[in-house]
């Protein structure tokens, strides 16, 4: 799949997890979902590049000065991971709060059966 197809698939996946949102929240979430999907696919591509090329690159600064540094992909990856985490938190904050499900220990049924 090309990048745009992968992004569309990720948008569908993220949208499916947010099905319980009310219509107003869905409008707000639309751009967040699109950006999060773009970042997820871009992060996958960056991971692939870093696995292939490594995370360190060499540089030459002047005629006799050589060295190594983090690759540009690592810098972009680190920044994008933080931004994507922030977007995912925003999406989860839009979800309605559900009261915790009460675990049935059978006590009520026992009491009712005694009558």
pLDDT by residue for the chain (115 residues), tens only, comes to: 899 999 999 999 999 888 888 888 888 899 999 999 999 999 999 999 999 999 998 888 888 888 888 899 999 999 999 999 999 999 988 887 776 666 777 777 777 887 6
pTM: 0.75
The answer to whether 74 touches 50, Cβ cutoff 8 Å, is: yes
DSSP 19: T
Consecutive H or E run containing 66: strand 66-70
For residue 62, is it left (φ>0), alpha (ψ between -120 and 50) or beta? left
Q: State the pLDDT at residue 83.
A: 96
Burial of 45-57, coded b for 16+ CB within 10 Å and e otherwise, reads: ebeebeeeeeeee
């Amino acid at each position: 799949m090309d990048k745009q197809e992968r992004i569309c698939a990720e948008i569908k996946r993220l949208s499916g997890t947010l099905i319980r949102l009310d219509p107003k929240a869905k409008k707000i979430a639309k751009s967040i979902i699109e950006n999060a999907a773009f970042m997820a696919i871009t992060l996958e591509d960056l991971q692939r590049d870093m696995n292939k090329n490594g995370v360190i690159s060499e540089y030459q600064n002047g005629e006799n000065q050589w060295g190594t540094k983090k690759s540009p992909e690592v810098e972009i990856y680190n920044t994008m991971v933080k931004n994507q985490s922030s977007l995912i938190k925003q999406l989860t904050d839009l979800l309605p709060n559900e009261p915790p499900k009460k675990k049935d220990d059978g006590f009520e049924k026992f009491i009712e059966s005694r009558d």
